[in-house]
Amino acid sequence: MRVRIGLGSCGIAAGAKKVIAELEKKLAEKDLGIKIEQTGCIGMCFNEPLLEVFDDEGKVSLYGKVTPEAVDRIVEEHIIGGSPVTEFLVSDDDMTFLTRQKRVALRNCGNIDPENIDDYMANNGYKAFEKCLKEMTQEEVIEQIKVSGLRGRGGAGFPTWFKWNATLNAKGAPPKYIICNADEGDPGAFMDRSLLEGDPNSVMEGMMIAGYAVGASEGVFYVRAEYPLAIKRLEMAIEQARERGLLGKNILGTNFSFDLRIKAGAGAFVCGEETALIASLEGERGMPRLKPPFPAQKGYWQQPTNINNVETYANVPWILFNGGSAFSAMGTATSKGTKVFALAGKIKRGGLVEVPMGIPLREVIFGIGGGITDDREIKGVQMGGPSGGCIPKELLDTPVDYESIVKTGAIMGSGGMIVMDETTCMVDMAKFFLDFTQKESCGKCYHCRLGTKRMLEILTRISEGEGKDGDIEILDELAVKIKEGSLCGLGQSAPNPAQSTVRYFRKEYEKHIYDHKCPSKKCKALLTFTIDEDKCTGCTLCARKCAVEAIKGEKKKAHTIDQTLCIKCGNCADVCRFGAVMID
């Protein structure tokens, strides 16, 4: 009998530590001699905390939403009694969340102990690296990556082999560098965090293979400071790899020497852009610069540098182990392999989803994600974060591949996928993203710095009922100018969220501007709260909860809201048990 618990950030946030404490106590009490094993995030975040029990016959039972109380019963009835507690098991329906996926980058997440390199090695870990070092030339490695068709998973989808090849052939004196972009700036995406927390070694192996292929001597992780657990696990994995002689001088008896280190970012979205990232690594303000020269020619400390995303690297060992053509057998003509998405928002089963490129969005959201929270109507899905756009429900049959997604006005991005329902206001979404990019613009380019601010002002006034005829056109014009006048991807894509919502949800904008109404009932300034006399029972709850004492009325009689006092906080609607508060 073995027990294992998922200890990713999300599991911990959902209370996994309390579950462990209870489990330890119980196991010790009963003196069962069972050690609790840990693993990373399996991606089933909606069911966290997760606990697995492995019977001696090899049968696995997965328990979801485990509470300390559930632990007591699991120990009594299952671990001691031998029969699983069916009511706490993850349902068969929920299991399809995993069975409908195809896991390449996430192959080990949730299956191995991320703090133990031996576990990784027992699952074919570092075999690809060894094969590259001992049996393949640098060109042969790059050739396999070319055959695989792997494209960058950090956003732009640039062919990985091409960058590697450019770095290999870059002229000049050594050293060369490998950088892993783990800045994960899209607010609403967590694939890279889960990967680093759940399987740091696969990303490291990918970097080590890249290091060998391009002839680099050092690799650097640039990790978001908000990810302390990822940093801790990477540190452990690097230390263990050094002990095993997988990092350092003359690795595995060859003449290849390579080492890895970690730099924590300091919080700036623009530092996800590769030239800004390099500036930040050099201790400067993270300002992007013009390309060319590309990092492959002049990167970190002006030396040839290859930068890839976390997920890109995580795919590399799999490709070298299974062969490039095994990877290119999955996906579409131009988008090969699989892609990991962070499914969140108004979705029933939020979490990590890895699917072959080319399957329809609908399958990801409804097939795997189980549909919309509370079975409401889907409105659309946001992809690509602040650089991306909203795809409306009419286009849910769009296949997920780089080109098809771009056609809709969104981008594949790094994999953030936020599902929105009828309660999400599109003007508010556009405003939300412009607020973000406006704050995060580094300020170097005039159009980006001031243009995003002007766009935000216009969106704000629309959401406050002050929108004017012609505002939509000014938004469009600004969008075009900002895209043309910005040096880096931040500015070039900042208008996308506004443009794509105008394109698909223009009516919603017009309702705000001309009718002063927010159909999704989100923009506070446009709402009026009233009480339906027929439904109100006079329970006085709303009046007691009202922070500004705007609700008047006698006990057991219908109440009214004083519009001059109402601050539209919505508390009354939230607390009313009779649905008597009407929002218009």
Partner 1 sequence: MQCCCGEENKLENRFPDTEVDLKPLDVVLEKYKGIKGSLITILQKTQEIYGYLPRRALQHIADVIGVKPAKILGAATFYTQFRFQPIGKYLVMLCQGTACHVNGSEKIEDAICDELKIKDGETTEDRLFTLENVACLGCCSLAPVMMINGEAYGKLTPESARKVIREIFKNETNS
Ligand X SMILES: Cc1cc2nc3c(=O)[nH]c(=O)nc-3n(C[C@H](O)[C@H](O)[C@H](O)COP(=O)(O)O)c2cc1C
In the complex, the residues that contact ligand FES under the rule CB under 6 A are 187-188
* Residue 281 contact, options ligand FES, partner 1, ligand X, none, Cβ 5-8 Å cut-off depending on partner type: partner 1
Rounded to 5 degrees, what are φ and ψ at 84? -55, 145
Q: Does 457 bind partner 1 (CB under 8 A)?
A: no
Instruction: Check binding of 281 to partner 1 (CB under 8 A).
Output: yes
Within 365-404, the residues that bind partner 1 by CB under 8 A are: 382, 385
- Of 133 and 220, nearer to partner 1 (C-beta) is 220
d(CA 246, CA 242): 6
Say how far residue 267 (Cα) sits from the centre of its chain: 16
Smallest CA-to-CA distance from 102 within 308, 310, 315 is with: 315
Report in angstroms how near the CB of residue 301 gets to partner 1 at its nearest: 8
**Residues 424 to 443 in contact with partner 1, rule: CB under 8 A:** 424, 429, 432-433, 436, 438-439, 441-443
Closest approach, Cβ 283 to partner 1, in A, equals 4
> Could you say whether residue 282 binds partner 1 (CB under 8 A)?
yes
* 47, amino acid identity: N
Which of ligand FES, partner 1, ligand X, none lies near 282, with the C-beta cut-off 5 to 8 A by kind? partner 1
Which one of residues 152, 198, 416, 451 is an interface residue with partner 1 (CB under 8 A)?
Answer: 416
String of contacts with partner 1 for each residue 131-160, x by CB under 8 A: ------------------------------
Contact with ligand X (CB under 6 A): which of 26, 107, 146, 153?
Answer: 153
CB of 187 to ligand FES, least distance (A): 6
Q: Does 152 bind ligand X (CB under 6 A)?
A: yes
Give the shortest CB-542-to-partner 1 separation in angstroms.
15
Helix/strand/coil (H/E/C) assignment for every residue in 100-111: CCCCCCCCCCCC
Six token digits for residue 557: 């009689």
Q: Which residues contact 269 (CB under 8 A, 6 or more apart)?
A: 185, 386, 436, 437, 440, 490
Rg over alpha carbons for the chain, rounded to the nearest Å, is 26
Q: How far apart are CA 352 and CA 536, in angstroms?
A: 43
Q: What is the DSSP code (8-state) at residue 248?
A: B
3-state secondary structure of 564: coil
- Name the segment binding ligand X (CB under 6 A); options: 17-25, 139-147, 246-254, 269-277: 269-277
Residues 32-51 that bind partner 1 (CB under 8 A): 45-46, 48
Site for ligand X contains 184 (CB under 6 A):
yes
> What is the smallest separation between the CB atom of 466 and ligand FES, expressed in angstroms?
29
Helix axis angle, 426-440 to 496-510, nearest 10°: 150
Query: By C-alpha distance, which of 335, 415, 399, 411 is closest to 160?
Result: 335
Which part of the chain contacts partner 1 (CB under 8 A), choosing from 221-229, 235-243, 245-253, 462-470? Answer: 221-229
Contacting residue, 110, 154, 200, 467, with ligand X by CB under 6 A = 154
- Binders of ligand X among 299-318, rule CB under 6 A? 307-309, 312
H or E element in which residue 479 lies: helix 471-485
CB 244 within 8 A of CB 129: no
Direct distance between the N- and C-terminal alpha carbons of the chain, in angstroms, rounded to an integer: 58
Q: How many Å apart are CA 518 and CA 46, to the nearest integer?
A: 30
For 307: left if phi > 0, alpha if psi spans -120 to 50, otherwise beta; the answer is: beta
CA max distance for the chain: 87
Which residue, 191 or 355, has its beta carbon nearer to ligand FES?
Answer: 191
Cβ 82 to ligand FES shortest distance, Å? 39
Identify which of residues 148 and 309 has a Cβ nearer to ligand X in the complex: 309
Q: Can you say whether the dihedral through the CA atoms of 240, 179, 416, 102 is positive or negative? A: negative
Out of 125, 154, 272, 286, which residue is the one contacting partner 1 (CB under 8 A)? Answer: 286
Interacting residue ranges for ligand X, rule: CB under 6 A: 152-156, 158, 181, 183-185, 270, 272-274, 307-309, 312, 414, 488-490
